[in-house]
Amino acid sequence: MAKKYKKSEVTELLVAMERKAKQVLSMVQNIETDANKNSYAMYDDFVRRAMDFDTLAILVGTRLQNMELDADSTQELRDQYNKLKIVVAHGQIKASMKFFFILSATATLPLGAKDLFSSELRRLFNLQTELANPKYEGMLSKETMGDLETAELILQEIIDKAPGLLNFS
C-alpha cells in the first residue's frame, strides 16, 4: 500500500515547484540573446533547470495521488499543479523555438552537436506526449502546440546537418 501524504506536505512541494517554475521561466528571454552570441550555456542551464522542474513535478504528482484527503479537497492543489506544468511547458516550447530557429541559421555546429540535440529531440517528444494527456486538453493554445511541432521539425533539420562525435572504434 502506498504511503499517504498530508496536505501540508503536498502544499510545501507545490511551493517549491512554483519557485522552480519561476527560475525556468526567468531564463526564457535570455536564451535568444545567448544563442545569437553562438553560446549554448544559457540553453544548457535552462534545460537542466527544466529537467529539475520535471523531476519535482513527478514527486508532487505522486503525492497528489496519495493524499490523505478525499478528491474534492485536493482539486485546488491539482489545478495549481496542472497550471504550473502548463506554464513551464509553454516556456519550454517558446525557448526551444527561439533557440532552434537561431541554430538552424548557423552554418557550422560544434563537434558532438548531433548527440546533444538527439537527446533534446527526445525531451521535446516526451513533452508532446505528456501534453497529449486529456487532462491538459484546451490548456495550451493550438498555436503553442504547433510551435512544439515546429520546434521538433527544426531540431530534426539541425540534427541532420550537425556533426556527431568521432568514433575511433
Residue 41: predicted pLDDT: 82
Residue 167: predicted pLDDT: 61
- For a pLDDT cut of 70, what percent of the chain falls above it? 94
Of 40-54, 58-72, 134-148, the poorest mean pLDDT is in 58-72
Strand partners, 67: 5
- Give CA separation, 132 vs 11, 15, 94, 129, 155, in Å: 26, 25, 18, 5, 20
Q: Which three cell numbers stand for residue 95?
A: 525557448
Predicted confidence (pLDDT) per residue in 80-136, tens digit: 999 999 999 999 999 998 888 888 887 777 777 777 788 888 888 999 999 999 988
Instruction: Say whether 163 sits in a helix, a strand or coil.
Output: coil
Q: How many CB atoms are located within 10 Å of the residue 60 CB?
A: 24
Rounded-to-integer distance, Cα 26 and Cα 46, Å? 9
Instruction: Say whether 77 sits in a helix, a strand or coil.
Output: helix
**Entry pTM:** 0.85
Instruction: Say whether 6 sits in a helix, a strand or coil.
Output: coil
Residue type, 169: S
Apex CA 82: angle with CA 79 and CA 96, to 5°? 155
First to last CA, the chain: 49
Q: Which three cell numbers stand for residue 56?
A: 519535482
